[in-house]
């Protein structure tokens, strides 16, 4: 389990990665109406595809200029991808593994290897290469879904430690995808922010001036948000105070564990209760630093609206804050959680592209 309090000292412990269950995923396209259609978009801007990269698969949605949101394919990652992303979610890469002691020979070797790879025009690490290969595959599937070239996409990732950003940038650069977030310090959206945006929070009304609206969003009293992700290969929970959906610095406590994904949920009563108890504990640890009860709860991941999961989350929040989130959670439909992050990323990407088209060099979130 990895648990970190971003304003205190991160606690990191070991983690076992599940790679066995590689299930082929079938194409699954649906249409729906997007969030706050930008009606004034005049010329037909290209659709923006949001891609949620999870620890074991990617899932995509396209946002058209008229506001229509179309859900595209899910693409399963292979064992290498799942292993890499699960380590990344825990903040581990070659450098962090080899450079515990900066003076050690492993660290020197590892650092030298990176610069050699860079000079040779390769992704800077083996991890970056694995991600880049998967991204290339995802790109091809999306172009097939969309029936044409898609150059600009809006990728969303779990919370990633800043020490992974170079690997991430290198993977994106080698995959040929151009991110709508290419001008940010980190070239992707955070899944928590994308899920928040997908619920229509932290975004400007379509008719308003982007810049002044963003200032308003920043100055508004921030929402206290608890977000919970329950997926095949991971469980994560975070707390943030968020105004604008574009504010990346919003998370203040976060925990993730690749052993607590839905694939690991035991069938039998006793181990199952133990599994849920671990999730209960992790949610409590993340909720603890929240000074006040959440006024927004966001559930995402394929099993984010699972009834047992919701019960456990409810009980954990109650135990820490004596606050009942039943009403807030009850309203979330099961079929609405799997694509949530992809849709939110597509919406955020669309808006970033609109800003760029309007020549607004000023970034809204800076």
Ligand X SMILES: *[C@@H]1O[C@H](CO)[C@@H](O)[C@H](O)[C@H]1NC(C)=O
Using rule CB under 6 A, residue 64 touches ligand X: yes
Give the residue with the Cβ less far from ligand X, 23 or 185. 23
Instruction: Report 23-42 residues binding ligand X (CB under 6 A).
Output: 23, 25
Between residue 124 and residue 183, which ones bind ligand X under the rule CB under 6 A? 149, 151
CB of 114 to ligand X, least distance (A): 28
Report d(CA 366, CA 364) in Å as an integer: 6
Pick the closest to residue 225 from 249, 241, 236, 209 (CA basis): 241
Q: Assess 66 for contact with ligand X (CB under 6 A).
A: yes
Shortest Å distance, C-beta 61 to ligand X: 13
Residue 347 in contact with ligand X, rule: CB under 6 A: no
The first and second tokens of residue 198, run together, are 């997908």
Q: Which window, 56-64, 101-109, 196-204, 207-215, contacts ligand X (CB under 6 A)?
A: 56-64
Q: Alpha helix locations (H) across 152-268?
A: 165-175, 191-198, 210-219
Total count of residues recorded for the chain? 366
The label of the residue with tokens 């959680």 reads 337
At its nearest, how many Å lie between ligand X and the CB of residue 64?
4
Q: Which of 247, 302, 306, 352 binds ligand X (CB under 6 A)?
A: 302
Task: Candidates 9-17, 63-71, 158-166, 326-334: pick the segment binding ligand X (CB under 6 A).
Answer: 63-71
Give the separation between CA 288 and CA 275, rounded to whole angstroms.
Answer: 20
d(CA 300, CA 336): 8
82 near ligand X, rule: CB under 6 A: no
Among 6, 21, 141, 289, binds ligand X (CB under 6 A): 21
Q: CB of 11 within 8 A of CB of 286? A: no
d(CA 53, CA 81): 10
Residue in 214, 250, 243 with CA at minimum distance from that of residue 363: 214
Among the listed ranges 8-16, 68-76, 205-213, 247-255, the one in contact with ligand X (CB under 6 A) is: 68-76
3-class SS of residue 164: helix
Q: How far is the CB of 81 from ligand X (least distance, A)?
A: 12
C-alpha to C-alpha distance for 138 and 141, rounded to whole angstroms = 5
CB 74, min distance to ligand X, A: 5
Rounded distance between C-alpha atoms, residue 265 and residue 278, angstroms: 11
Nearer to ligand X, 3 or 35 (CB): 35
Task: Pick from 68, 80, 111, 278 the residue near ligand X by CB under 6 A.
Answer: 68
Kindly state the smallest distance separating residue 146's Cβ from ligand X, in Å.
10
Element (H, E) at 255: strand 251-257
Question: Which residue, 89 or 242, is less far from ligand X as judged by CB?
Answer: 89
Q: Which x/- pattern over 92-131 shows residues binding ligand X (rule: CB under 6 A)?
A: ----------------------------------------
**Segment interacting with ligand X, rule: CB under 6 A, options 66-74, 104-112, 244-252, 318-326:** 66-74
Contact between 337 and ligand X by CB under 6 A: the answer reads: no
Q: How far apart are CA 211 and CA 190, in angstroms?
A: 21
Report CA-CA distances (Å) from 289 to 52, 165, 239, 241, 312: 28, 27, 9, 12, 19
CB nearer to ligand X: give 92 or 302: 302
Question: Using CB under 6 A, which residues numbered 227 to 266 contact ligand X?
Answer: 232
Closest to 339 (Cα-Cα) out of 89, 156, 84, 87: 156
Distance CA 255, CA 16 (A): 15
Chain residues that interact with ligand X, rule: CB under 6 A: 21, 23, 25, 56-57, 64, 66, 68, 74, 76, 149, 151, 232, 302
């Amino acid at each position: 389990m990895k648990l970190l309090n971003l304003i205190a000292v991160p606690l990191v412990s070991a983690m076992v990665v599940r790679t066995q269950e590689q299930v082929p995923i079938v194409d699954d396209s649906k249409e729906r109406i997007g969030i706050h259609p930008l009606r004034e978009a005049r010329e037909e801007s290209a659709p923006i595809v949001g891609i949620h990269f999870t620890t074991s698969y990617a899932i995509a949605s396209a946002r058209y200029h008229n506001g229509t949101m179309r859900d595209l394919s899910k693409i399963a990652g292979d064992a290498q991808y799942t292993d890499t992303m699960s380590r990344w979610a825990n903040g581990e890469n070659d450098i962090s593994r080899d450079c515990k002691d900066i003076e050690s020979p492993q660290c020197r070797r590892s650092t030298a290897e990176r610069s050699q790879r860079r000079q040779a025009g390769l992704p800077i690490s083996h991890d970056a290469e694995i991600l880049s290969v998967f991204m290339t595959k995802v790109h091809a599937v999306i172009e097939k879904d969309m029936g044409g070239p898609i150059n600009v996409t809006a990728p969303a990732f779990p919370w990633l430690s800043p020490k992974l950003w170079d690997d991430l940038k290198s993977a994106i650069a080698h995959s040929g995808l151009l991110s709508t977030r290419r001008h940010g310090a980190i070239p992707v959206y955070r899944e928590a922010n994308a899920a928040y945006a997908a619920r229509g929070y932290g975004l400007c009304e379509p008719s308003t001036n982007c810049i002044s609206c963003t200032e308003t969003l920043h100055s508004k009293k921030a929402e206290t948000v608890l977000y919970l992700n329950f997926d095949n290969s991971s469980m994560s929970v975070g707390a943030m105070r968020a105004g604008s959906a574009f504010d990346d610095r919003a998370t203040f406590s976060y925990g993730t564990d690749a052993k607590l994904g839905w694939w690991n949920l035991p069938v039998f009563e006793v181990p199952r209760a133990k599994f849920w108890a671990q999730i209960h504990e992790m949610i409590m640890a993340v909720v603890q630093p929240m000074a006040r009860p959440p006024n927004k709860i966001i559930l995402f991941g394929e099993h984010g609206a699972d009834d047992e999961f919701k019960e456990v989350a409810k009980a954990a929040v109650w135990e820490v804050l004596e606050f009942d989130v039943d009403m807030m959670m009850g309203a979330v439909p099961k079929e609405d959680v799997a694509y949530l992050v992809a849709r939110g990323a597509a919406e955020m990407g669309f808006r970033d592209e609109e800003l760029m088209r309007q020549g607004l060099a000023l970034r809204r979130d800076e």
